[in-house]
Amino acid sequence: MSKLPLSGIRVLDLGHLLPGPLCSVMLADLGAEVIKIERPPRGDVNRYVPPLVHGVSPYFLMINRNKKSKLIDLKDPKGKESFLKLVESSDILIENFRPGVMKKLGVGYEKLKAVNPKLIYCAISGYGQEGPWKDVAGHDLNYLGLSGLLYPTAAKSERPVMLPTQLADIVGGSLLPALSILAALELRHKTQKGMFNDSAMMPGTMALLIMVLGRVLMTGQEMKKDEDRMTGLYPNYTTYLTRDKRAMVVAAIEPKFWNRFCDVIGKPQYADWIPLTDPTGFPTPSLAKCAPSKLKKMRGLIQVVFKTKTQRQWMKIFASQPECCCTPVNTFQEAVKFLEKLERKDLIEVPDASGNLFPQLLFAWGNPDLSRSQHTMPPTLETD
């Protein structure tokens, strides 16, 4: 194993819930020494989120492997003194308190900067460190709603669909902050100075809508369910139910994929449903002007075809047809099994002291050598 990219870098993780801890575990996987600062007497509440497997919360394990831990009370003078000593020898600090909390505790950025001018301080919050919303409480679902991301999931009087993930926490609160930290590390090599990173989850979430925002900002047009390419308007980019009430995804954007798909389902005549002449496969002017009623009718015709077979039967058919862009909608367990079929190194097993193995998902760094070869369980609580 070559030297890990962040070996020799020390991170203080004051994060809680998902954003901060997920951000720091990415750095830990890359070789950083991450010290998780937990509040006495019981530490991170995520340690106790059920179900417990061999006494461990899977939720806590997934975002806290490869870390050390210290119980430190920042309201106690001795605890604060111990914390400041750690800051002196650290490179990065991550916290996701509401703006002003660290300053009230006497350990805000200006205080820590005086202790360690090279410290990279990443503050993760809902709406940013400044502005009229900085003190407003919020969680992932609030940011998803405010960002507009949930709006296209509802049709007419239906309520928006709740997504089974925390996109705002993961993207705006973890991935983008991790990227900003890595950029700050590179800049520090050149300037020998640290910096303050203000990472806001609600604006960060809107990075997921980057293509949509281009249209909204320039035309003012909204995007509703079944009224846009991205929300199911076009028959060649949507989902269909099967006979057993499972679902298949069709994403045959390019004409060559669409033509092949129509051949495979036994309806080659459907390939001419609209003149797709743009070599990129994206909606041409003629497609954009196509009446929604015609598109709805074509979706209905294809839905009839899909209802003739079960999902498993369709999977068997498309398994030998790589030029169709037609795949199943998996359950979570099916998704894990599919990931194993890719024969990559995205799944690992982390042993505890008793030899129990805990499955874990690594991050797709693109090169396995960038990540640790041996992973450790989350730390037990250690009183400073």
For every residue of 127-163, DSSP letters joined together read S-SSSTTTT----HHHHHHHHTTTGGG--TTSPPPPP
Helices (H), 41-139: 58-62, 77-88, 101-104, 109-115
CA distance 32 to 150: 36
Region 30-35: mean pLDDT is 97
> Which tens digits make up the pLDDT trace of 118-131?
999 999 999 999 99
The reported pLDDT for the residue numbered 211 is: 83
- Strand 33-38 versus strand 10-13 pairing type: parallel
Please state, rounded to an integer, the average pLDDT across all residues of the chain. 91
The single-letter DSSP state of residue 319 is T
Please determine, for residue 277, whether its predicted confidence score (pLDDT) is greater than 60. no
Please determine, for residue 282, whether its predicted confidence score (pLDDT) is greater than 60. no
The reported pLDDT for the residue numbered 289 is: 57
Q: Which of the two residues, 239 and 213, has the higher pLDDT score?
A: 239
Domains of the chain and any CATH numbers: 10-208+345-370 (3.40.50.10540), 247-328 (3.30.1540)
Q: What share of the chain is helix, strand, coil (3-state, %, to 5)?
A: 40, 15, 45
Beta bridge partners of 195: 120
CA distance 336 to 314: 20
pLDDT grade, residue 229 (50/70/90)? confident
Let me know: does 42 contact 124? Beta carbons within 8 Å. no
- Least trusted range by pLDDT, from 52-56, 94-98, 324-328: 52-56
Hey, what are 200's tokens?
């806001």
Select from 70, 71, 73, 50 the least CA-distant residue to 61. Answer: 50
CA distance 41 to 71: 8
Q: Which of the two residues, 222 and 352, has the higher pLDDT score?
A: 352
Characterise 225 by phi-psi region: left (phi > 0), alpha (psi -120 to 50), beta (else). beta
Q: Which of the two residues, 144 and 279, has the higher pLDDT score?
A: 144
The reported pLDDT for the residue numbered 274 is: 55
Share of the chain above pLDDT 70, in %: 94
> Which tens digits make up the pLDDT trace of 335-377?
999 999 998 888 989 999 899 999 999 987 888 888 898 999 9
Report how far Cα 118 is from the mean position of its chain's Cα atoms.
29
The reported pLDDT for the residue numbered 216 is: 85
The reported pLDDT for the residue numbered 98 is: 96
The reported pLDDT for the residue numbered 285 is: 43
Q: pTM, whole model, 2 decimals?
A: 0.90
**Three-class DSSP category at 77:** helix
CA distance 205 to 149: 8
Share of the chain above pLDDT 90, in %: 74
169 is known as an active-site residue: yes
Please determine, for residue 116, whether its predicted confidence score (pLDDT) is greater than 90. yes
CA distance 351 to 41: 26
Please determine, for residue 300, whether its predicted confidence score (pLDDT) is greater than 50. yes
pLDDT grade, residue 243 (50/70/90)? very high
The single-letter DSSP state of residue 308 is T
Which secondary structure element, helix H or strand E, spans residue 251, and what is its range? strand 247-251
Q: Which of the two residues, 289 and 254, has the higher pLDDT score?
A: 254
Let me know: does 183 contact 122? Beta carbons within 8 Å. no
Helices (H), the chain: 19-29, 58-62, 77-88, 101-104, 109-115, 140-147, 167, 176-191, 201-205, 210-219, 255-264, 285-288, 292-306, 311-318, 332-341
Hey, what are 16's tokens?
């809680």
Region 50-60: mean pLDDT is 94
139 is known as an active-site residue: yes
The reported pLDDT for the residue numbered 327 is: 98
> Which tens digits make up the pLDDT trace of 159-200?
898 999 999 999 999 999 999 999 999 999 999 999 999 999
Packing angle, helices 19-29 and 176-191, rounded to 10? 60
Please determine, for residue 44, whether its predicted confidence score (pLDDT) is greater than 80. yes
Choose, from 73, 139, 198, 375, the residue flagged as catalytic.
139
The reported pLDDT for the residue numbered 157 is: 73
- Least trusted range by pLDDT, from 22-31, 186-195, 232-241, 358-367: 358-367
Choose, from 29, 91, 169, 228, the residue flagged as catalytic.
169
> Which tens digits make up the pLDDT trace of 71-111?
999 999 999 999 999 999 999 999 999 999 999 999 999 99
